[in-house]
Amino acid sequence: MSSDRVPQALDKVVVVTGASSGIGAVLTRQLRARGARVVLAARRENELRALAAEPGPETLVVPADVTRREQVERIRDRALERFGRIDVWVNNAGRGITRATSRLSDEDFDSMMLVNAKSALYGMQAVLPHFQARGAGQIVNVSSMLGRVPFAAARSAYCAAKHALNSLAATLRSELRERYPGIHVTTVSPGVVATDFGLKALGGGPDSRQLPGAQPVDEVAAVIVGAIERPAADVYTRPGMREAAAAYYAAEDMATIEARWPAARFPEP
């Protein structure tokens, strides 16, 4: 992209879940800078209101727990009441885990699936009838490179949940393709992002901002904005990620690829 390209105004109404911090908060700022009206959804109302108070186009704050279907539907209803339409729904809420597969409890696994996959399913199902009625719209699911290549053993059930999310997105695209070609379903796969994601992981973990090669959050948000401008099915936030995923699945024996990954180290129980 040319550095002297003048960004076009983004005349869209965009719902962003997990908007109170990290990727969601920075994405909200970038969208508003482009002229979009944003519906901010998350549990932390004070943080949402502080973000909404920043200069920019009109916003709507909807405090909500996206692991509860009825609250996700309330986000949709409030957005339609205020703006009359929704153009883009970004499922961004999520949480990690630091626990080996062999040590996962039922509660660990259920929590990861609920926060990272079911919450996004609720969002897709809530907004879909509106998009179908209009014949247009876009769902953006913020997944993870770990949903393509599960190279971090400590993230176990998080990897599994993001794989599930990717499959839900792909099957929804197939479901909509013939009758609703104007509805786009986009999966965005970041790698390690410089946020407090690691600190908030179930079971604790290293601060993602201190990890080597962590991608600045503004770069990740800019890729998502680009995916809204030019919808695509599968988007990666850094060069080489797509090739790494393809190489993993093309390997005659995946174990040969896995042997190159960092060794998993966990504290003794």
Query: How far is 248 from 160, CA to CA, in rounded Å?
Result: 16
In a domain, 8, yes or no: no
| pLDDT (mean) for 228-240 | 97
Using alpha carbons, list the distances in angstroms from residue 90 to 1, 104, 119, 258: 24, 29, 11, 31
Please, where are the H alpha helices in the chain?
A: 22-33, 45-52, 69-83, 106-113, 119-134, 156-176, 217-229, 241-250, 254-258
In a domain, 141, yes or no: yes
Q: Is 14 exposed, middle or buried (0-12, 13-18, 19+ CB in 10 A)?
A: buried
Per residue in 178-228, pLDDT tens? 999 999 999 999 999 988 888 888 888 777 777 778 899 999 999 999 999
Domain count of the fold of the chain: 1
In a domain, 257, yes or no: no
Q: Is 96 exposed, middle or buried (0-12, 13-18, 19+ CB in 10 A)?
A: buried
In a domain, 269, yes or no: no
Identify the pLDDT of residue 105.
Answer: 97
In a domain, 254, yes or no: no
Least Cα distance to 267 among 210, 222, 204 occurs for 204
Name the band, by pLDDT with cuts 50, 70 and 90, for residue 6: low
Q: Tokens 């965005």 map to which residue? A: 188
In a domain, 268, yes or no: no
Active site residue 158: yes
In a domain, 123, yes or no: yes
> Helices 106-113 and 156-176: crossing angle, nearest 10°?
40
| pLDDT (mean) for 143-159 | 95
Please report, for the domain that includes residue 168, its CATH number: 3.40.50.720
Least Cα distance to 244 among 148, 152, 143 occurs for 148
Active-site hit among 158, 180, 248, 249: 158
Per residue in 96-124, pLDDT tens? 999 999 999 999 999 999 999 999 999 99
HSE-CB at 75 with a 13 A cutoff on CA atoms is: 38
In a domain, 259, yes or no: no
Range of the domain at 166: 13-239
